[in-house]
Amino acid sequence: MTASTSGHPLSGRAAIVGIGETGYVRGADETVLEMVLGASMAAIRDAGLTPADIDGILPPPGFVAWDEIAAHLGIPDVRYTSTPQMGGASPTAALTTAMMAIASGVAETILVPIGWNGYSALRPRPDAKPSKRRFSAAFFETVRNYYGPYGLRSAPWWYSLYLQRYVELYDVPPEAPGAVAVAARKHAQLRPNALMHGRAMTMDDYLASPYITEPLRKFDCCVETDCAAAVVVTSAERARDLPHRPVLLLGGAEGHANPAHELTNRADVLDLGLSRAAPRAFEMAGVTARDMDFLQIYDCFTHVVLLQLEALGLAERGGAPDLVKGGALELGGAYPLNTAGGMLSQGHCWGLNLVVEAARQLRHDAGDAQVHGAELGLVTGYGDLGDGSIVILGRG
């Protein structure tokens, strides 16, 4: 059993005991609520529990509120709920909140769900049920009022403001982000539910893909999908009596760029929230980045993965291109990355699909994608233009 060596009072006190997910599709027949309920029930059943066992719900901001989930699942007594406001960093940040709630006795068993129609919301079909929800945040007010008038109307353009600076400052070759994209696509071939399953990609394919906005090519961008995922977290003590090998929460933290939602006034546009969060999480867990058997890194864009590898301490600033050479991110390499395909090739589920895959790896249930003997792994979250979250997981 993996145990924390840090002595931190939260480390190892809680565990992931149930996981669930939908398919990753373009054009779901279900509403967002229906997808979230399906993934949530799958996670609850996977844990060997019933909705009556759930007493905490931590949904990220967006499409479905905690009380809708509780009402439809028949959860009779919600003792605790909280919603992180960190965009794509929210699901991973919620796991740290779950650690605190369980260790303090505020809640005993917590559901962390997410779902959205990330493809069909902007492409309504006449035969599909419409969504009445849209994700909104202060970040989008900033980009609408200050970036939109200059033609920067979607995520690739916003991110390119600092990703191009990264490329130019450190002479990042295209093969470096290409290594991230190729590894994700290779791993997606091992997951039938991945959107890009059956669609192999080589480095030549990557380099031939058109630019969206420099430095981002088409294959540098995550796929748009309709999907949902959920995990169930309870105490490590209770986890021993449930069906699956517990996945212990050994460490977690969040960090924020300053200012969080605006680039042009930052002293250093490449200073990420993860740069602050990662050292705290590793200290809590009593491990280092190089102890990890695999990495599940939020991959909205390939270059963002490179920045996060550096923020984790695996390379100096500008050193990630050397780190990822020679298949280092692929199964069998030094740092197996996003072993189900990640957001680049499995599906964009706000990164909670990365948590689901991490749990499979540490249960040793990952099939052909299994990292042999995996005992430790990490998951990162990335929100908007630099919010960062991280959780360190261990095989119980």
- What would the DSSP string read from start to end of 244-281? S--EEEEEEEEE--SSTT-STT-S-TT--HHHHHHHHH
Domain-located, residue 2 = no
How far is C-alpha 234 from the geometric centre of its chain's CA atoms? Answer: 20
Domain-located, residue 3 = no
What residues have CB less than 8 Å from 144, skipping those under 6 apart?
Answer: none
pLDDT of residue 135: 47
Low-confidence ranges of the chain (pLDDT < 50): 132-136
Domain-located, residue 304 = yes
The pair phi, psi for residue 8, each rounded to 5°, is -65, 140
Phi-psi region of 222 (alpha: psi -120 to 50; beta: other; left: phi over 0): beta
The pair phi, psi for residue 113, each rounded to 5°, is -115, 165
Domain-located, residue 96 = yes
Domain-located, residue 7 = no
* Helix 302-311 / helix 273-285 crossing angle, nearest 10 deg: 50
pLDDT of residue 125: 62
CATH code assigned at 379: 3.40.47.10
pLDDT of residue 35: 97
Q: Which of 22, 230, 43 is nearest to 119 (CA)?
A: 22
Q: Which of 312, 321, 305 is nearest to 219 (CA)?
A: 305
Phi-psi region of 15 (alpha: psi -120 to 50; beta: other; left: phi over 0): beta
Q: What type of residue is 297?
A: I
The Cα 323–Cα 328 span in angstroms is 7
Domain-located, residue 364 = yes
What residues have CB less than 8 Å from 286, skipping those under 6 apart?
Answer: 4, 5, 6, 7, 8, 11, 250, 251
Q: Which of 353, 358, 350 is nearest to 374 (CA)?
A: 358
Residue 24's domain comprises 14-395
Domain-located, residue 235 = yes
* Helix 352-363 / helix 90-104 crossing angle, nearest 10 deg: 60
Maximal C-alpha separation, the chain: 57
Domain-located, residue 9 = no
> DSSP E strands: which ranges in the chain?
14-21, 56-57, 80-81, 109-117, 211-213, 216-217, 226-235, 247-255, 294-296, 376-383, 387-395
Q: How far is CA 296 from CA 24, 105, 222, 259, 390, in A?
A: 17, 29, 14, 26, 10
Q: How many domains does the chain have?
A: 1
pLDDT of residue 308: 98
How far is C-alpha 185 from the geometric centre of its chain's CA atoms? Answer: 17
pLDDT of residue 249: 98
The Cα 16–Cα 33 span in angstroms is 23
Asked if residue 321 lies in contact with residue 330, where contact means CB atoms within 8 angstroms, the answer is no
